[in-house]
């Protein structure tokens, strides 16, 4: 039997809980802004279709938000549970950022989510719109603080290591650290892309089945329009982030491109599939497009790329994880770009709602934003290894004195209970999609509970009573 390693278990547990968590904020950040736009459009045009779209996505937003809250609660304790040394060293620097996230996002949530979910009849459309906008702002604040904390771990500035913990010299530099400026827009536009593909995918699903046509057309039109603009911007932001990370964390980008040699062959291929052999510092198998590596990475026909051997073996990330995190994200971005381009073409030709292959592609692409976001986070987090705070603290030195058996049992507990959450979320979301948009009223019913999130039954009851 394999010997249990506490460090690996602690990391697996954190990776599992944080991966599970990030899915839900990604959806809710994206949908919150989408909802604000829909309600704004409705107020401006008074076209009922926008209200219908608003109603439909409000419920899915609320559920995603609810699961995000429950799983986020765990994370605020997990820094110490699994990584006590990290908490002691980094607490003074990133603790306040997370405290501000708690304070600002709780304040906005507590004040306005209730109105957004339940208050339409009580406060009137304008105030309700204000509440929607404030909740959307709250999700963006929340993302900003969390990205500031995580970016500080990637590119720590504004604090010095003194007697076993970080002493902050400049809050401005802690928050506005070099990678935050690119990673924040990158994450937010990832969340927006996620929402766009969700919306377009559900619309395409209805169009293929010739149901809820007006709603479906509008969803496809809006979703693809947002996606086309966003993906172009996202590739641009991603490229700038690539340059920044190349400067600050060369090892991450070396691993992400799949080259081992100090200098790659010239011209360099662009690898799509590799089977890395970390121990012998080589690829057992590599398949790529000739010349493309030189062209993309060095912007010349014969340029050479630096490989992972430039980084000492004990400071190397695991190439396989970083490489595939990057490739999955990047390939999805290319497909998204293709879908965006096709949508513009089809729109021009007036066949956006008729072309079945395109609609099928949209249905397939429904979860693409979520997958790409997760893959991007794997690139960011595995590529930073072996460091937890880049250049300051190694992950193995950060873990808690908790025995492997305890870690394994709690990991199993997390997996079981989170599966229940996921099953519930999917069950209720798919049921909402199956039942379609017209059966919903604007309000979830009032009970004052913020986690009404997980209460689609209220809507169901209305459906039965109201018809």
Partner 1 sequence: MDLPLLSACFAAFAITLYVLLDGFDLGVGVLLLFQKSDVARNHMIDSITPTWDGNETWLVMAGITLFTAFPIAYGIIMPAFYIPIIVMLLSLGLRGVSFEFRVQMKKLKHRWDFVFGVASLIASLMQGLIVGGLLQGVQIEGQRFSGHVTDVFHTLPLVTSVALVFGYAVLGSGWLIFKANIVIQKFARGCIRVASIRLTVLFCVGCAYAASVQPGVHSAWIVHAIPLSAILILFILVGGGVATGTSFGVSVLPFTFGLLLFLLGISGLSLIFFPNIIPFRMSLWDAASSPASQRFLLTGASLVTPMVLAYSAFAYWVFRGRTPEKGWEQ
Q: CA angle, corner 465, sides to 461 and 467, nearest 5?
A: 120
Q: What are phi and psi of 119, to 5 degrees?
A: -100, 10
Binding-residue pattern over the window 368 to 387 for partner 1, x denoting contact by CB under 8 A: --------------------
Residue 74 within binding range of partner 1, rule CB under 8 A:
yes
- Distance in angstroms (rounded) separating the CA atoms of residues 237 and 220: 25
SS3 state at 390: coil
| Cβ–Cβ < 8 Å for 337, 344 | no
User: Which structure tokens are listed for 32?
Assistant: 């919150």
Strand ranges (E), 126-259 = 159-162, 165-168
Among 50, 79, 326, 377, binds partner 1 (CB under 8 A): 79
Residue 122 within binding range of partner 1, rule CB under 8 A:
no
> What is the distance between the terminal CA atoms of the chain, rounded to a whole angstrom?
60
Residue 424 within binding range of partner 1, rule CB under 8 A:
yes
Among 4, 48, 110, 172, binds partner 1 (CB under 8 A): 110
In the complex, what is the shortest distance from the CB of residue 409 to partner 1, in angstroms, rounded to a whole number? Answer: 8
Residue 96 within binding range of partner 1, rule CB under 8 A:
yes
Binding-residue pattern over the window 442 to 461 for partner 1, x denoting contact by CB under 8 A: ---xxxxxxxxxxxxxx---
| Cβ–Cβ < 8 Å for 39, 50 | yes
| Cβ–Cβ < 8 Å for 262, 310 | yes
Residue 99 within binding range of partner 1, rule CB under 8 A:
yes
Q: Please report, as residue ranges, which positions from 341 to 370 form the binding site for partner 1 (by CB under 8 A).
A: none
Q: How far is CA 223 from CA 10, 215, 227, 304, in A?
A: 39, 12, 6, 40
| Cβ–Cβ < 8 Å for 293, 305 | yes
Which is nearer to partner 1, 45 or 409 (by Cβ)? 409
SS3 state at 291: coil
In the complex, what is the shortest distance from the CB of residue 66 to partner 1, in angstroms, rounded to a whole number? Answer: 8
Residue 421 within binding range of partner 1, rule CB under 8 A:
yes
- Distance in angstroms (rounded) separating the CA atoms of residues 200 and 27: 14
Residue 92 within binding range of partner 1, rule CB under 8 A:
yes
Q: Which one of the spans 66-74, 182-190, 199-207, 249-257 is the region binding partner 1 (CB under 8 A)?
A: 66-74
Q: Please report, as residue ranges, which positions from 150 to 209 form the binding site for partner 1 (by CB under 8 A).
A: 164-165, 167-169, 171
Which is nearer to partner 1, 175 or 375 (by Cβ)? 175
Residue 89 within binding range of partner 1, rule CB under 8 A:
yes
In the complex, what is the shortest distance from the CB of residue 370 to partner 1, in angstroms, rounded to a whole number? Answer: 21
Q: Which one of the spans 47-55, 211-219, 273-281, 411-419 is the region binding partner 1 (CB under 8 A)?
A: 411-419
- Packing angle, helices 6-45 and 125-154, rounded to 10: 150
Strand ranges (E), 292-430 = 387-389, 393-394
Rg of the chain over all Cα atoms, to the nearest angstrom: 23
Which is nearer to partner 1, 80 or 320 (by Cβ)? 80
- Distance in angstroms (rounded) separating the CA atoms of residues 250 and 390: 12
- Distance in angstroms (rounded) separating the CA atoms of residues 76 and 224: 36
Q: Please report, as residue ranges, which positions from 262 to 281 form the binding site for partner 1 (by CB under 8 A).
A: none
- Contacts with partner 1, residue ranges (CB under 8 A): 66, 70-71, 73-74, 76-77, 79-81, 84-85, 87-93, 95-96, 98-100, 102-104, 106-107, 110-111, 114, 164-165, 167-169, 171, 400-403, 406, 410, 413-414, 417, 420-421, 424, 428, 445-458
């Amino acid at each position: 039997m394999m010997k249990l390693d506490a460090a690996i278990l602690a990391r697996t547990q954190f990776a599992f809980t944080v991966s599970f968590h990030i899915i839900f904020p990604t959806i809710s950040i994206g949908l919150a802004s989408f909802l604000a736009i829909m309600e704004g459009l409705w107020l401006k045009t008074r076209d009922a279709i926008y209200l219908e779209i608003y109603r439909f996505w409000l419920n899915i937003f609320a559920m995603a938000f609810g699961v995000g809250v429950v799983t986020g609660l765990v994370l605020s304790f997990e820094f110490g549970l699994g990584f006590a040394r990290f908490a002691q060293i980094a607490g003074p620097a990133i603790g306040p950022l997370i405290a501000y996230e708690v304070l600002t996002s709780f304040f906005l949530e507590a004040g306005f989510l209730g109105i957004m979910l339940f208050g339409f009849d009580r406060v009137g459309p304008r105030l309700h719109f204000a509440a929607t906008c404030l909740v959307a702002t709250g999700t963006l604040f929340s993302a900003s603080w969390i990205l500031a904390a995580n970016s500080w771990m990637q590119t720590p500035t504004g604090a010095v290591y003194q007697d076993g913990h970080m002493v902050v010299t400049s809050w401005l530099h802690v928050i506005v650290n070099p990678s935050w400026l690119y990673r924040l827009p990158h994450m937010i536009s990832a969340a927006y892309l996620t929402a766009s593909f969700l919306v377009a995918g559900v619309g395409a699903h209805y169009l293929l089945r010739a149901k809820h046509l007006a709603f479906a057309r509008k969803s496809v039109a809006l979703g693809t329009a947002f996606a086309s603009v966003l993906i172009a911007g996202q590739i641009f932001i991603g490229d700038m982030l690539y340059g920044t990370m190349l400067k600050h964390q060369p090892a991450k980008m070396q691993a992400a491109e799949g080259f081992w040699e100090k200098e790659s062959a010239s011209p360099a291929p662009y690898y799509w599939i590799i089977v890395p052999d970390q121990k012998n510092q080589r690829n057992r198998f590599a398949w790529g497009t000739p010349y493309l590596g030189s062209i993309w990475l060095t912007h010349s026909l014969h340029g050479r790329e630096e490989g992972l051997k430039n980084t000492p073996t004990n400071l190397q990330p695991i190439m396989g994880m970083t490489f595939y995190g990057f490739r999955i994200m990047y390939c999805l971005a290319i497909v998204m770009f293709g879908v965006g381009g096709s949508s513009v073409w089809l729109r021009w030709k007036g066949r956006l709602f008729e072309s079945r292959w395109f609609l099928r592609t949209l249905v397939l692409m429904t979860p693409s934003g979520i997958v790409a976001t997760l893959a991007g986070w794997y690139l960011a987090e595995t590529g930073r290894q072996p460091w937890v705070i880049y250049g300051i603290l190694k992950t193995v030195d950060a873990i808690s004195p908790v025995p492997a058996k305890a870690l394994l049992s709690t990991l199993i507990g997390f997996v079981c209970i989170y599966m229940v959450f996921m099953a519930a979320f999917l069950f209720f979301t798919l049921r909402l999609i199956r039942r379609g948009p017209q059966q919903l009223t604007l309000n979830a019913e009032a009970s004052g509970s913020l986690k009404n999130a997980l209460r689609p039954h209220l809507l169901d009851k209305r459906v039965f009573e109201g018809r």
